[in-house]
Structure 1
Amino acid sequence: MGRRLSRLGCLATFVSLLTLTIAAPAAAAGYDSTDYVALGDSYSSGVGAPGQSGLCLRSSQGYPGRWAAANKPKSFTNLACSGAETGDVRNLQIPFLSSSAELITITIGGNDAGFASTVIGCQVGTDAACAAKVASARTDIENSIPGKLDATYAAIKRKAPNAEVVVLGYPQLFDTSSASCGIAGMSLAKRRVLNEGARLLNDVIEGRAGAAGFTYSDVEDEFAGHGICASSPYLNGLTVIPPQNSFHPNATGYTRGYLPALNSAL
């Protein structure tokens, strides 16, 4: 019996050492030699989270800052800016992108689709007016935005040809499990049509990112059940102070929504 236990002990030790040996490369494969750059719009600059500063409203509590704090890359630069469209990324961000960048993340396309004006218009207008605004945005999403994304992704590849690029999508803004959304909340019809518009935009972004050879990470699963009007939302509803936080992820949304989506893509 003692010999059997001894043999089992030796076997267990061998398995443990083998496991450590196999796991060692993974543990060593960190990001301490990685140059990381975040590009894009307010969803990458960190609007909606605490600590926003500067004209671009960047916050270290957005998903890029949180990822950098957790993974400690060699360098981290956040070039994302609130309100940015695809042309702004090409003209105002990529010129400052290092050609040696090894990891790039980006959210872009929402402002090209008229995200802010559409949502605000739906907030104050009728169901029919909201549907009309989303239909107008849908035309842009289908006809003009694919080319704008192609040009932007191509510019990133030219400037940093060796970088791994992760393109993140946008969440479904609204929870639609209940007809009620509070006194100032939108009707169920408005919430549904806005979610449909966001889904279409994500489909286009995913397609163009794939065509560019980039990795696309969908955040809809991470935000599922946590839209505006849910009991534990990951997004800010209409916000008076500060107004720019309206319809952007809150701190929890960046931590439990965007950050896990980025980690899964990597």
Structure 2
Amino acid sequence: MACSGARTFNVLGDGQSGEVGQLAAGYLDQNTTLVTLSIGGNDARFSDIMKKCIDLQDPQLTTCPYSELDNQDPVTGEDAPGTTGNLKDWAPKWLHDTVRPRIVKTLTALHTAAPHAKIVLMGYPRLVEKDRSCFPGAYEDVENVWVRGLADNLASEMAGAVSDAGTWAVFSDPRTNFDGKAACGNPETIHAIVETGRERADTEAPAASMKTLHPKIAGARIYADTLEQTLKKM
């Protein structure tokens, strides 16, 4: 129920690329028995944070937990006045106070549209292994430790959102299944930085490809296995 790049407001209202919002598309009704989605990572601004940490354009910036982002309105994604302040202080508060309730609102709206369905919220892996040697030197160990911890924080808030929503919602956590296999892992099932082999819509060169830090085919298989494990427990 969530397209690539979607935030909660894309599910709840405004769609992407001229499409109607996913809820308004008419896929859900009283006959729906299962809904799956991954939502929250883009609301958490994980992509913006990773760009700050990797920072290919400004390699002397090596302390992304102490950098900041321009503010955005969580309801629209539009720019808002001011900045976040230090990411290490802002991110946990943003996840708990903003992202978690936005996920609850999304799950509740899905439940209203499909009242007889189980709703499975798919989580996110830790994107980069502890050995981050396949990444550029601008991405330091201290940053990777912080980013991996932030992924754990996001998982906790997503699980909390499911608990807040109701017994009809379930959290499916892929972190353990991806351990050792994320970017820089062996086998690597999440793309590290990809600069070549772009699809036709992937046009933002010299910026890294949209494949960067997204699952490879083998990673999609791990996601599917994680979902299957969750469904068997339901």
TM-score interval (norm. to shorter): 0.7 to 0.9
Of Structure 1 and Structure 2, which has the larger fraction of its residues in helix?
A: 1
Cα 1:182/1:150, change in 2 over 3 Å: closer
Distance in 1 of aligned mates of 2:65 and 2:177 = 26
Superposition deviation, residue 185 in structure 1: 7.4
Deviations 1:97-126 (A, max 9, x none): 320221110100011111111111111153
Using the size of structure 1 for normalisation, the TM-score is 0.66
How many pairs align?
186
**1:262 aligned to which of 214, 217, 227:** 227
1:120 aligns with 2:51: yes
1:209 aligns with 2:167: no
1:151 aligns with 2:81: no
Q: Which amino acid aligns with 1:195?
A: R
Q: Which residue of 2 aligns with 1:104?
A: 35
User: Does structure 1 retain, via aligned residues, the 8 Å contact 2:132–2:144?
Assistant: no
Cα 1:155/1:182, change in 2 over 3 Å: closer
User: What RMSD over aligned residues (CA atoms) do the two structures have, in Å?
Assistant: 1.8
**1:192 aligned to which of 145, 155, 161:** 145
Distance in 2 of aligned mates of 1:87 and 1:179 = 33
Q: Which residue of 2 aligns with 1:235?
A: 190
Deviations 1:221-248 (A, max 9, x none): 1100112112311100111233111111
Q: Which amino acid aligns with 1:231?
A: N
Of the two, which has the highest radius of gyration? 1
Distance in 1 of aligned mates of 2:138 and 2:129 = 11
Q: Which amino acid aligns with 1:98?
A: L
Q: Which residue of 1 aligns with 2:12?
A: 90
Deviations 1:122-176 (A, max 9, x none): 1115332345454233221121112111111110010000011111100001110
Distance in 2 of aligned mates of 1:166 and 1:228 = 25
Cα 1:179/1:253, change in 2 over 3 Å: closer
**1:181 aligned to which of 134, 137, 157:** 134
Identical amino acids, percent of aligned pairs:
24
Moved over 6 A (4+): none
Distance in 2 of aligned mates of 1:203 and 1:156 = 21
Q: Which amino acid aligns with 2:145?
A: R
1:249 aligns with 2:171: no
Q: Which residue of 1 aligns with 2:64?
A: 129
Distance in 2 of aligned mates of 1:163 and 1:179 = 40
Superposition deviation, residue 192 in structure 1: 1.1
User: Does structure 1 retain, via aligned residues, the 8 Å contact 2:100–2:158?
Assistant: yes
Superposition deviation, residue 186 in structure 1: 2.7
User: Does structure 2 retain, via aligned residues, the 8 Å contact 1:185–1:229?
Assistant: no
Cα 1:246/1:182, change in 2 over 3 Å: closer
Could you list the runs of 5+ residues in structure 2 that have no partner in the other structure? 14-20, 69-86, 199-208
Q: Which amino acid aligns with 1:250?
A: K
Cα 1:86/1:183, change in 2 over 3 Å: closer
Superposition deviation, residue 187 in structure 1: 1.9
